[in-house]
């Protein structure tokens, strides 16, 4: 096999892996959009906030340390202990559930029956608030997140492919873990929504609010549930991205990459989020590989958006989105 | 155009059914939307096991009244008494959990879900297993799901919708959707069933079917039914007692035969000039 072809294969594989990472963020968007018709602009920041909180708990950081020091003139920063990873994850999840409760109580409750655009604006506000809160609570420095996920080149794949083709593929082990985690996440979310009482209630709310009320479903309880699940997905995404790039505030920008993913996959489809993520991942890597050198490179920054634009022209509802039918 | 009721069913409606004591009472209900008064000081009661109709011309406030009963609207004045107790301000889902199920005039079904799933949602309030039970699919969760499925299948049989069990509701024709909505309401095993124009927009045959189902439900399960209907003929055949509304006011209340002769009712339906 020619070197070019092998290299293209490697690029494709890496693209798939990168796509999984995008899909992880997109999943959170889809969940909330499906259940409440809200495009949650804060999903990316939620991932950042979850990662910050996780690192904070893990390393025994004192929340609001800078604020406390400024007010009381103390110099505390750390409790001086470190928390086991699993306990820190559980604690972070508790924080995310608390956030879901507060979001419902302080924001959503007051916007019942408002137009989607108003709720969308509210989530933009929420995004800025969370970003600020994360800053005040845990500080703005870039932190290293280590939850024990493997990183670096996968020797096995490198060795095997070298044996086959005489050319070793470089695949990051973290990306493989991310792919497995994403698969597990999708399977469990699907099982949850198809086979549990709460899942059925969730689908009911997503379909028709009024009908859901009439069969005795509390919308508010479902919203808290949905935002908690979205918080959980954000935590998973935050863990993956935080391990990969370090926990830094630019993480919230990965949410932007989720937009073209959603346009491709459709805003209402969980499989769509995954497939959309894969297409964007592979697309941008292959484009960079094939066309990039001719036009000066750095195409990864804009390729996904251009792809989404083209998609919007031909299939505005995305690959898996609900068909838009207008009866006249 | 009257839904012709089968002789047997008509007998059941008129004959030896056990109509019990008052289960719900509306006392001096007034409902306003801004400056518009949709319901003006209306009182009536609903007895256990009866079919109670609310009729009246368009815009009389019938649906508003049903929405008050089901908690979707909150009246500015008046009280709702349910089973001998004054009902506090409840949310619609809380009313549903008290055993008051309803259907909607414009059909509110979960279009993306199958007929079976739609009807299963009707039983959500009756399910008890925790999320952990379900995650592990332990005894309780499985037993519960099976038991509920059995009940739902019975209702499906009863309403003769076996052939569309797995079909997404969005693909069903109008008449069948109405029937699925009734099935979902029935699945909750309600004490009171509220039907908002169950025969609206149906052809003669569908109307007859629906009439039969309403009577059968009342007869077999002893369910108290409150229904809104436009079609005088249908109402006269179905109901035990009728409330007639016009411009948000109650103009008559009593058995169909009596109400039919009432001058105010005749005026409202024939459109005598109003001074209101």
User: Which of A72-76, A165-169, B130-134, B239-243 shows the lowest per-residue confidence on average (mean pLDDT)?
Assistant: B130-134
Query: Does ipTM exceed 0.90?
Result: no
Look at residue B103 in the predicted model and tell me its pLDDT.
95
Specify the CATH number for the domain of residue A233.
1.10.3470
On whether any CB of chain A is under 8 Å from the CB of B121, the answer is: yes
For residue A149, what are the contacts with CB-CB under 8 A and spacing of at least 6? A174, A177, A239, A240, A243
Are A311 and A266 in contact by the 8 Å Cβ rule? The answer is: no
Q: For residue A314, what pLDDT is reported?
A: 87
Mean pLDDT confidence for B199-226 = 91
Is 50 exceeded by the pLDDT of residue B226?
yes
The mean pLDDT of B251-256, rounded to a whole number, is 93
pTM, entire model: 0.82
pLDDT tens for A241-291 read: 999 889 998 888 777 888 899 989 888 888 888 999 999 999 999 999 988
As for how many domains chain A has, the answer is 1
Q: How far is A41 from chain B (nearest CA, A)?
A: 26
Contact list in B for residue A197 (CB cut-off 8 A) is 124, 127, 129, 134
Q: What is the mean pLDDT of chain B?
A: 87
Structure tokens at B210: 């629906």
- A73 min Cα distance to partner chain B (Å): 47
Which residues on B lie below 8 Å from A204 (Cβ)? Answer: 110, 113, 121, 124
Q: Domain for residue A15, yes or no?
A: yes
Determine the pLDDT at residue B4: 44
Give the residue carrying structure tokens 């008559």: B252
Q: What is the assigned CATH class of domain B7-99+190-270?
A: alpha beta
pLDDT in tens, B51-87: 999 998 888 899 999 999 999 999 999 999 999 999 9
Could you give the percent of chain B with pLDDT greater than 70? 88
The first and second tokens of residue B235, run together, are: 């109402």
pLDDT score of B267? 86
Counting Cα atoms < 13 Å in the Cβ hemisphere of A212 gives 23
Residue A165 is predicted with a pLDDT of 82
pLDDT category at B10 given cuts 50, 70, 90 is: very low
Mean pLDDT of B16-27: 85
Does B270 contact A at CB distance below 8 Å?
no
Is B121 within 8 Å of A195 when comparing Cβ atoms?
no
Q: Show the low-confidence residues of chain A (pLDDT under 50).
A: none
Q: Specify the 3-state DSSP secondary structure of B36.
A: strand
Q: Is B8 on the interface with A (CB under 8 A)?
A: no
Is residue A324 domain-resident? Answer: no
* Within-domain flag for A200: yes
Residue A328 placed within a domain: no
User: What is the residue range of A141's domain?
Assistant: 3-314
- Asked whether residue A293 is domain-assigned, the answer is yes
Residue to substitute from B71, B91, B92, B131, interface A, most A β-carbons within 10 A: B92
Question: Residue A207 and residue B70: Cβ atoms within 8 Å?
Answer: no
pLDDT at B13: 46
Once rounded to an integer, what is the mean pLDDT over residues B208-229? Answer: 92
| Residue B47 pLDDT | 94
Alpha carbon of B230: minimum distance to chain A alpha carbons (Å): 22
Q: What is the pLDDT, as a whole number, of residue B125?
A: 83
pLDDT tops 60 at residue B11 = no
Strands ordered across the beta sheet of B241-246: B100-102, B192-196, B224-229, B51-55, B241-246, B249-254
Candidates B94, B121, B134; nearest CB to A215: B121
CB under 8 Å, gap of 24 or more: what pairs does A216-223 form?
Answer: A216/B93, A216/B94, A216/B96, A216/B97, A216/B124, A216/B125, A216/B188, A217/B93, A217/B121, A217/B124, A218/B91, A218/B93, A219/A112, A219/B93, A220/A104, A220/A108, A220/A109, A222/A35, A223/A35, A223/A36, A223/A104, A223/A108
pLDDT at B15 over 70: no
Domain ranges of chain B: 7-99+190-270
């Amino acid at each position: 096999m020619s070197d070019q072809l092998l290299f293209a294969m490697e690029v494709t594989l890496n693209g798939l892996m990168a796509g999984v990472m995008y899909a992880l963020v997109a999943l959170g968007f889809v969940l909330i959009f499906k259940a409440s018709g809200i495009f949650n602009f804060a999903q990316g920041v939620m991932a950042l906030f979850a990662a910050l909180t996780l690192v904070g708990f893990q390393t025994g950081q004192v929340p609001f340390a800078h604020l406390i020091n400024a007010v009381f003139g103390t110099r505390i920063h750390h409790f001086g202990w470190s928390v086991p990873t699993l306990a820190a994850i559980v604690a972070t999840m508790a924080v995310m559930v608390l956030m879901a409760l507060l979001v419902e109580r302080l924001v959503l409750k007051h916007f019942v029956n408002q137009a989607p655009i108003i709720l969308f604006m509210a989530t933009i506000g929420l995004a800025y608030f969370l970003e600020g809160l994360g800053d005040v609570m845990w500080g703005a420095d870039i932190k290293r997140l280590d939850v024990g996920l493997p990183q670096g080149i996968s020797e096995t794949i490198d060795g095997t492919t070298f044996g086959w083709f005489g050319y070793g593929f470089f695949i990051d082990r973290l990306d493989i873990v991310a792919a497995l985690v994403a698969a597990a996440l999708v399977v469990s979310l699907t099982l949850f929504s198809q086979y549990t009482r709460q899942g059925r209630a969730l689908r009911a709310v997503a379909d028709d609010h009024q009908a859901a009320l009439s069969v005795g479903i509390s919308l508010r309880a479902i919203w808290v549930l949905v935002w908690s699940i979205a918080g959980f997905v954000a935590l998973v995404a935050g863990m993956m991205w935080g391990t990969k790039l370090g926990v830094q505030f630019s993480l919230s920008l990965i949410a932007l990459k989720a937009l073209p993913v959603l346009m491709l996959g459709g805003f209402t489809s969980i499989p769509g989020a995954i497939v959309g993520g894969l297409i964007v991942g592979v697309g941008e890597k292959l484009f960079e590989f094939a066309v990039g050198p001719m036009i000066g490179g750095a195409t990864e920054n804009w390729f996904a958006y251009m792809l989404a634009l083209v998609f919007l022209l031909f299939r505005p509802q995305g690959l898996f989105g609900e068909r838009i039918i207008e009866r006249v | 155009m009257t839904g012709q009721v089968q002789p047997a069913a008509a007998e059941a409606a008129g004959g030896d059914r056990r109509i019990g004591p008052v289960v719900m009472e509306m006392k001096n209900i007034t409902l306003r939307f801004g400056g518009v008064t949709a319901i003006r000081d209306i009182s009536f009661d609903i007895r256990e096991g009866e079919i109670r109709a609310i009729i009246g011309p368009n815009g009389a406030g019938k649906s508003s009244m049903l929405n008050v009963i089901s908690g979707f609207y909150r009246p500015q004045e008046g009280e709702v008494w349910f089973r001998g107790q004054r009902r506090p301000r409840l949310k619609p889902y809380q009313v549903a959990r008290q055993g008051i199920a309803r259907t909607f005039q414009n059909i509110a079904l979960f279009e993306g879900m199958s007929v079976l799933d739609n009807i299963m949602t009707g039983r959500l309030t009756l399910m008890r297993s925790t999320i952990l039970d379900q995650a592990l699919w332990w005894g309780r969760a499985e037993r519960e799901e099976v038991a509920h499925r059995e009940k739902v299948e019975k209702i499906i049989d009863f309403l003769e919708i076996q052939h569309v069990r797995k079909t997404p509701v969005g693909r069903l024709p109008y008449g069948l959707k109405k029937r699925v909505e009734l099935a979902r309401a029935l699945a909750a095993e309600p004490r009171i069933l509220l039907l908002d124009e169950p025969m609206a927009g149906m052809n003669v045959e569908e109307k007859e079917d629906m009439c039969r189902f309403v009577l059968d439900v009342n007869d077999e399960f002893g369910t108290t039914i409150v229904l809104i209907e436009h079609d005088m003929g249908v109402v006269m055949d179905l109901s035990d007692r009728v409330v007639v509304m016009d411009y948000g006011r109650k103009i008559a209340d009593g058995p169909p035969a009596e109400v039919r002769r009432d001058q105010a009712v005749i005026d409202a339906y024939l459109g005598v000039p109003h001074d209101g």
